[in-house]
Every structure is written in C-alpha cells, then in structure tokens.
A and B are shown apart, each in its own frame.
Chain A
Amino acid sequence: MKDLKIVVNLMFREKKDVFYSILFGFLAGIGAVSLFANSGYLISKAAIMPPLYVLTISIALLKLFSVTRAVSRYGERYFSHRATFTKLSNLRQYFFEKLEPLAPQIFQKYRSGDLLSRIVGDVESLQNFFLRVYYPPIVMVIVFLATIAFTAFFSIAVAIALVLGLIITGFLVPLWFSLKRKEIDNQLRESRGTVSTEAIEFFYGFRDLKLYYRLDEQANNLVNASATYVNEQRKVAGNELYNQSVNQLISLIVSWIVLGMGAYFVAEGQLDGVFLAMLVMVSLTVFENSTPMAAFPGYYHDSRRAANRLFSVVEKEEENSWEEKLEIEEVNINRPPTIELQNVNFSFPYEDRLALKDINLHLQSGSKTAIVGPSGSGKSTLLMLLLKVFSRNEGEVKLWNKSIGKLMDEDIWNGTNIALQSNHFFYGTIRDNLRIAKDGLSDDEMKAVLNKVKLQQFSLSDPVLEKGENLSGGEKQRLAIARAMLKGSHLWLLDEPTSSVDILTESHIYKELMKQGENDTMIFVSHRLTGLEKMDQIIVMENGTIIETGSYDELMNKKGYFYKMKEIEKDVFL
C-alpha cells in the first residue's frame, strides 16, 4: 500500500486532469443513462398517442444526451490518459533518480534485465492503476447514486434492486474475486522480469554462449521463460474475462429482476406502464459502469505488485546507506590534494570479511604514488573509498585536509581524473564518449588527446558500439585515459590503466601522463613492477593490508616483499 501511495502522490501532480476525468466520466455515464431512459420513455409514450410537443421535447433531449455522452466520453478519455501517461513518465524519472545514487552497489543485487523490466514493464502496467483502479469506482458510485435517486422517484422497489445490484456487481463480486485472486496470486510481473533478464543475458553473453555451444540452451531458457510469461498473461486475461462475464451475467440478472418487478407492479397497477420500458433501459445501461469493476481486483493486485517491485529496489537500499550525515563543507578542488587515511577498515556490503584492514597512508599534495600487490589485495577497493563509491566502516579518510564525510560526492568526482580497470563506453561515437569528461570541449582538444594516447587512427565520429565492443581492450583503456586527461583535474586515480596496452605505447602514455600531471597528486594502481623507480612512494598491499611502503630504492634495499616480487617478475619475464 505504501508503494501505491507514492504512485497516488505522483498522480496528484496532475490534479486538474484527475478532476476533469472524474467530471467527464460522470457526465458520460449519466448521459448514457439519460439517453436510454429517454428513448424508452419516448417509445412508450408514443404508443399511447401523446400530444406531439411531448415527443418533440423528448427527441430534442435525445439529441442533447447523445452529444453530451459522446463529447464527455472523449473528454474523460483524453484527460484520464493524459494524467496517466504523464504520471508514468514522472514515475520513470522518479525511479531512475532514486536508483542513480545506489550505483554501483545495486548491481550486485539486481540484474540489468530485471531493472529494465521494472522501469519499462512494471511502470507501463501501472497505467491501469489510474485508468481502472483509481477513478472509475468514483465515477461509478456517483453515476449510480444519481440514477438510483432518479429511479426512486418512480419505484422504490426498482431503486432498491439497483442499489443491491450496485453493491453486488460493484463491490461484492470484485471483493470475492479479489480474495480468490490472492489464493492464485499470479507471477505475471515476475515472469516478465525473467524473460527480460534471460534476454539480456543472451545478448550480453552471446559470444561466450556461442563458443561454449550453449546458445541453444540459453535460447531454450528464454523460450521457456517466454512460455511461462505468455501463460501467465493468458491466465490473467482468462481470469479477467471470466470475472467480467460473471459480473455481466449478474448485472443482466439484476436488469431481469427490474423487468420482472416492473412487470409485476404494472400488472398490479402500482406502476404506470409507460415507465416500464424506461426503467428496463436504465437498468441495462447503468450497469455498463459496474461490469468493468470485475477487473478491478486484477488490476489492483497487479498495480500493487508492480509498485512494490518498483519501489522495493530503491527503498530497501536507502536504509542501507550507512554514510553518516556530516555537515557539508566547501572545498577548493582546483589544486592537488593531500590524501590521508587513518586506521581505515572496510568490508563490502553483505560481506563479513574485511576487504581493507587498518590502512594508514599519507600522500602529499603533488606526490606520485604507486600501489602494487596481488590481485584481490585491496588496491582497487582503496581507490573506491577515496571516490566515496564505498564508505569506510571505521577510521578516517581525508582529502584536501578535510574528512571525506564532509565533502560532497560531486566535489570529489569533479576533482578527480579517473581511469578504472574496466570503463564503460556508451553507444554512440568517440566524440560522445570523450565529451562526458568536461563541458565545452572542442574537437581540437579531443583530437589532441587522442594523439597523446596514440589513438590518432580514430576520428571523433567513429562509431562506438554498445559497451565499446568494437574496441580492443587496449583501445578501451587508452580511450579511458584520454577521457581522464581531458578532464583536467588535479587528482589522478589510475587503476591499472594500461594493463592491456603494449609496452611501447604504455611507455609513451606514461610519459604523457607524467607531463600533464607534473604538479598533481597521482595514484597508480599497478600489477607490473616496472617503471616504479620515479615514484615518490610505493605502497605494497596484500590481503587488504599495507605490508610495505617506501621509495623504489628503499624497498629494494630492504629486500622484503617488494624485492621478492621483483625477483619473481624477472623470473617470469626474462
């Protein structure tokens, strides 16, 4: 219910449209009732030879009601759909806004196909919430009340029959279906999510699936998921159809009772026969408003589930963000920062094992530092802490002499040039992918930087396929470095930036990096031990702790862990 409330609140931004929907819905409903009542009356009256003016007035009214009904229906549809689709659009944005701060942790919990299915499918299905759950009952009740008041004028008994009919078809039957529906609670939304997830896996894993000859298997998974989904859809549609038919039958029976009672009263002389046709017509028409109520429980449950699926993603995560709220302080990021870590401990969300243990570091402004160590030793994690992508559990992290908790995430990110181990590239062109580095970059600037990373063979308008699939590993890394270079901030965090780049190019790029970052604070994470002689400080990590620090010469003279690794490197490479 809480989730649906968010939907309702979002909807109320379109207050006017909601009001108009109800107003026109009422006019259309009552217009139809009047129209058929009038024609029933007209024909009966005609049978007993009334004065001509009665007929003329009736016919004029007939036209009026017809037009009212047609125009109102149009208005109702227009406003209700406009409100709905604006709401859906708001909902998508809302979802994305809530989702965005949760990256990247969220990806350890949800698959992208699943998230896609939620933002497209689940949001889409919420259109029924307004169109079929929220305002139609309101319209129905008003139309019925007006009709019943009108009927009561002619026959209390018939009015009572209509009241009972309303209660049964409008409330009891939907309620009954609602209870029944809970028992067989279907998996429509989930099964749609499964199809979407399997499809994404099929497309993303295409090459590996092909190589391992598992394409057929994955395709079968998809076909099965689709079959389940289609079956669920069929069940739901069948269910809706059944409910609607039952409700239709009941409403027809009520009209039948009205006719029977009316006939009885006319025969007994308690009702003027001229109104009988009218009452029957009223009854047949007014229930057009309540038969759709049979579908109410289906849509209601579906909407609830959809809202639930949608918001459960973002809500639960909010509770998990454990970063203490400190007062934000302004910081000038246009200078190389000092970096300090004191007794920092960190474990990944949902894991007990400490990924970083008791880390103490001091990097001076403008210093060049290399972090080396086996993979999984915590090198990249350390960078993630500096970027506030993850937050430390204990200890203190300071950038620009300020506690990281007091810095805005955006300030840190703006102040940093980053190239990670794997970088995302967007579907588009080289230019699109470079342009995100900074506002107002000229083509010349971008070309110059492509030269620096030896990607001059690319033109800015060369296409980049999804996830940069048309680029080699080395090209992607160099493009990421180019992006970092374009940004022009004064802290560099480079996580194995050139591991897939050949040695000649690597050496060239390092020179360029050192040139541009001469006065900046730079951190290189590296698994290679070559070229570390010029670093101010080398930090050696293993199993989440720092086991050695010092300059290249210091570490070599110490003949400790670094020295041993260097020996291994020689052994391996030469």
Chain B
Amino acid sequence: MKQLKEINRAQKNNMYSLVLMSFMLGIVIVAQAYFIVEIVDRVFLQDTSFSAVIPYLGGLLLVLAARSLVTYVNGRTGVKMAAKVKGDFRKKLLSKYKRNPVQASLKGQSGEKVSIMMDAVDEIDSYFSKYYPQMIQTTIVPILILIAVFSQNWVSGLIMLITAPFIPIFMIIIGKSTQKKSEEQLEKLAAFSGRFLDILQGLTTLKLFGRAKEQRDAIKQSSLDYRDATMTVLKIAFVSSLMLEFISMLSIGLIALEVGLRLVIYEQLSFFTAFFVLILAPEFYNSLKELGSAFHAGRGSMGAAKKVIEELEMTEQPVQWGERRLEINSPPTIKLENVSFSYSEGKFALNNINLEIPPHSEVALVGRSGSGKSTLLNVISGIVSPTEGRISVQNQSLFDYKEKDWFDHISYISQNPYLFSGTIEENIAIGGRGITTIEEIQQAAKKAGINEMIKSLEEGFDTMVGEGGRGLSGGEKQRVALARAFLKKPTIILFDEPTVGLDLQTERILQQSIKELGKSATIITVAHRLHTIKNADKILFLEDGKLLAAGTHKELLASVREYEQMVTVQQGGETG
C-alpha cells in the first residue's frame, strides 16, 4: 500500500529509533544466548565453582533487563506512530466529508460512514503498531543472529539461510488473500452499522407496523455475516501461523539433528557451540514467525486503509466558493439564469428556471408537493449547486463569493430543522454571530413565539433537546429555527412551508414575526397559505420542476387555471 509507506517515510525519527532498537535487540539476544550457554557449559562440563560463574550471571541479568527495555521502547514507538496516523486519517476523512455538497451528504447510510471513520481507521492501527516495527525488527535481528551462528558453526548457519526464505514466501501468498477477506469483513461491519442505525431511527415505525421481529432477524443476519467474515479472516491467519510453525519446527529439528550428530558422532562440535546454536535457532525463527502474524495483521490494516483511501478519493463535485467579499447591509438582487438541477442522472428536479428577485421583495413559491419548490429553495440557498445555469447575486456569480459571507446573510427555515444535541439556549445561539447573551436569546425566542413554551419547561432554556434530549414537536422545532433567524438578522430569508404543523394562534404570532424579519430582508417562501401568497410581491408557480407562471396573486388568478383551482379549494374548505 503506497500511501501507508509514504506515511512511514514521513515519520523518519520514529523509523530511526526502530532501527536502532532492533540492532540493540539483536545484540541482546545473542548476548543472552552466550551467557546462558557459558554458565551451563562451565558448571556442567568444566566443573567450575559457582563463584566463577557469578560474573556471567551478573552479565546475563543486565542483558535480560536490556531485552525488556528494548522491547518496550520498540512497542512504544509503534504505538506512537499508529496514534498519529489514525488521527490524521480521521482528519482527512472529515475534511473531505465537510467539503461534500449537501446532496452527496445524503447518499449512503450515515452508519456506514461512521463505521469507516471509527472501525476502519482503528483497524489501520496494527499496521503501524505491529507490522511495521516487526518488519524492521525482522530485517535486522535474524541477520545478527545469523552472523553469530555463522561465526560458531557455518553448517547450522547455512541451514537457517536456506530454510528462512520459505517463511516470507508463504507469508506473501497468504497475506494476499487476507487483505481481500479483511476488506470484506469491514464492509460487513459497515453494513451492519448502517443497518443498525437506520433500524434504530425507525424502531417506532417498525414496531407500529409489527415489523420489529423481522428487523431483529435482519440484525441477526447482519451480525452473523460479520462473524463469518471475521472467522474467514481469522482462519487464514491461523492456518498461516500453523504453516509457519511447521516450517520453523522442521527447521529447528533439522538444526538440532545436525548439531546433535556432529556433536556426538563426528565430534566436530563442542557442547558450547551446539547449545549456543540451539538456543539461537528458535529466536531466529520466532522473529520470522512474528513477522508472519504481524504481516497478517498488517494486511488486514491495508484492507482497512484501502477502504478509507477509496472513501477519500471518491470525488464529489464540491460546491466551489470564491474569495470575493459580500459587503452589503441591505438585501441583494438575486438572479437565476437557465438553472436546472437533478439529484440523479437524467431526472430533473428543476428545469431551466429564469427569475429575478429584487431586494426587499416577498416571493412565494407555489405548486403541488413534489413540484420542485424545496429544491429551488435549496439551490437559491447555495447548499447545492445547480447542475446547469447560473445564480447571480449583485450581478456576480453566487459562487464567486466567500461561503461564509453568503451564509451570514441568509436564514433558512426548513421543513424539519435539525436540533443539535444540547440545550435550547445553545440551539438558538447557533444562529448568532459571535457571543450572544441570554437576554438576546430570550428576546429572539419571544419574537419567534416560543418563549412561553420554553419557560413552561422545568429547566427552561437549559432543557436538553435534540438526540438524547426532550423531543420537540415539528412546530416547536420550526420556532426554534425562527428564533435562530431573529438572532441572525439576515438579509435573505428562506422559508420552507413555515406554518406547517402549527396551531392557529401560534401561526398568527408567526405571521407577525415573519413580517418583522421581512422589514430588513428579502423573503422567499414555499407557501401553502393563501394569505402568505396574497401578500407576496411575486408568486412563482411551479409544476414538475418548471416555472409555469410568475406574477401577483391577481394576475395568476386571472390567467392560470390550476392556480385558480387551488385557491378555490382553500377558500371553500372542501376537504374531507
């Protein structure tokens, strides 16, 4: 994986430290073997007194301490590297998600994205904390051991040299399939997360439709799929370590046989050499074997890294903003020229819209549901960019301006404003610029007609709302959004069905609020209410994503039949 290697190169200091520590480790391992053999040899064969071996025992003690220390420092470096990389990957993912246009943010399941951000990134850990340090260790330690063995007994050294390559070859074969399998495993986990989150959100609905049990089965299946995928990956790991074990066992056996024969039958070796080789041989293969299991973990990480990198490289056309300042104190002129928009290929939600919105005007978007009113509002707000055509503000393309400047000028009260997990106060304060006082917030709440309701709550403005907090009704949420707008004092207000779901008295309060907000702003409203429509300077009548007619209420009433029909029903109250 190219990217991971590059990351390694960027962390040079850590790499040097790993190399240095590995050298130390190699030396320590050889020294340990030397001391042990020396002691055994002396008391066993040379019959020296115990006091004569005490210095060697002292040396051995130092070596053992050094070995623990080196292992510790080595591991520590790996952990440090992994921590940095994980943090960096999350940051990168986030800045990519941040740039995504709104329509892209709706694609896929949030749970899956969270899973990539959490689980896949965590999975990268072992590449840096295990595989990489082990790889450096294994390139250095066995060589040092080999040198030591060659210096004592070249035949054993030769056996090691010949058998050793089998281990990495085997590893590579197995590692290849591991990576693919572990990608599958992560996909399964992401699918599980996505599914769980979606089901969680819709649990009430599912229960009411008597479908909870089925979903339980779906969760069960997802979970079992993940288990099976995990077991597949693990099975490869276990088989691979079994194989590595066999190879190293056979080799050690071969060496034992070789030294044994030469010691006993040919008497070519001393006990010292034989024992020395026999202690070093397992260390040699262990080091290679450990690389084997680390390699496996590393491959798994690479699978995860691939997923993360794929996600990073998935190109979405982000809304590109410019650098021009939007310095205005009163509403700007907004113009749409030949604007079309489609959510997916070929299906137009808006088709060739042309219109001009002069400052301080009150525009009402009218049409049946699904006619493209909300989409038009989204396009004007700049959170999605039109597929074709141009939006201009003050005769400059909207997207030449700085994003922040533009958003500072608009308030968008959507059908279903999102409440962030936090207090009501915090949720209103999000509309303000900089620091807002509680008085300002209360004032805004009053104007939005929600102050009374908030006060009736036990904890008032400190009541927790949003996820994990008190639920607010649709009308209440919209009034919170209105309060945000009052705090913001925008020059452009975008309302999406602002009076939906509210009772009559609140609706009246809101009419006044909107009127007041409108004193200093252009208002563009997706309207169902006749009185909103009647008060509008300009009504845009949409059908199937096309602008069918534009004009005042009277003009449309006289010229557009569908429009007239709509108004008649409203007045006659012929529903039900």
Contact = CB atoms under 8 A, between A and B. Distances in A.
A351 B223 contact: no
B75 A241 contact: yes
A534 B576 contact: yes
B495 to A, nearest CB: 13
B560 interface: no
A203 B109 CA distance: 9
B473 A380 contact: yes
Contact of B118 (A111, A121, A436): A121
Given A214-B430, A260-B57, A527-B504, A267 B49 contact: yes
A110 B98 contact: no
Contact of A373 (B75, B249, B496, B503): B503
B264 A55 contact: yes
Please classify the interface of chain B as helix (H, G, I), strand (E, B), loop, or mixed, using the class held by over half of its residues.
helix
A256 interface: yes
Interface in B60-114: 60-61, 64-65, 67-69, 71-72, 75-76, 79-80, 82-83, 86-87, 90-91, 94-95, 97-98, 100, 102, 105-111, 113-114
Given A112-B197, A465-B107, A276 B410 contact: no
A507 B202 contact: no
B245 interface: yes
B194 interface: yes
Contacts of A436: 205-206, 209, 211
A339 B202 CA distance: 27
B368 interface: yes
A275 to B, nearest CB: 9
Given A196-B114, A252-B67, A70 B242 contact: yes
Interface in A481-522: 483, 487, 496, 499-507, 510-511, 514
A496 B501 contact: yes
A126 B94 CA distance: 28
Nearest to B471: A108
B45 A273 contact: yes
B110 A203 contact: yes
A146 interface: no
A507 B245 CA distance: 77
Contacts of B207: 100, 103, 409, 413
A111 B369 contact: no
B181 interface: no
Given A66-B253, A230-B83, A389-B204, A219 B109 contact: no
Contacts of B19: none
B98 A465 contact: no
Interface string A36-75: 1001101110110110100100010011001101110110
A103 B204 contact: yes
A472 B374 contact: yes
A63 B271 contact: no
A446 B519 CA distance: 48
Interface residues of B, number: 170
B245 A204 contact: no
A200 B197 contact: yes
B24 interface: no
Contact of A66 (B94, B249, B404, B569): B249
B203 A100 contact: yes
Interface stretch (B164-172, B225-233, B328-336, B440-448): B225-233
B201 A112 contact: yes
B317 interface: no
B370 interface: yes
A92 B223 contact: yes
B21 interface: no
Interface in B491-518: 496-497, 500-508, 511
Contacts of B212: 100
A414 B417 CA distance: 32
A256 B417 CA distance: 70
Given A200-B197, A500-B369, A568-B504, A116 B87 contact: no
Contacts of A559: none
A352 interface: yes
Contact of A266 (B43, B65, B570): B43
Identify the 3 closest CB pairs spanning chains A and B, nearest first.
A474-B369, A424-B202, A531-B575
8 contacts: A39-B252, A47-B263, A108-B468, A192-B118, A219-B94, A237-B79, A259-B39, A277-B44
Given A74-B242, A207-B105, A470-B343, 8 more contacts: A46-B271, A81-B234, A96-B196, A207-B102, A213-B404, A253-B61, A500-B500, A503-B528
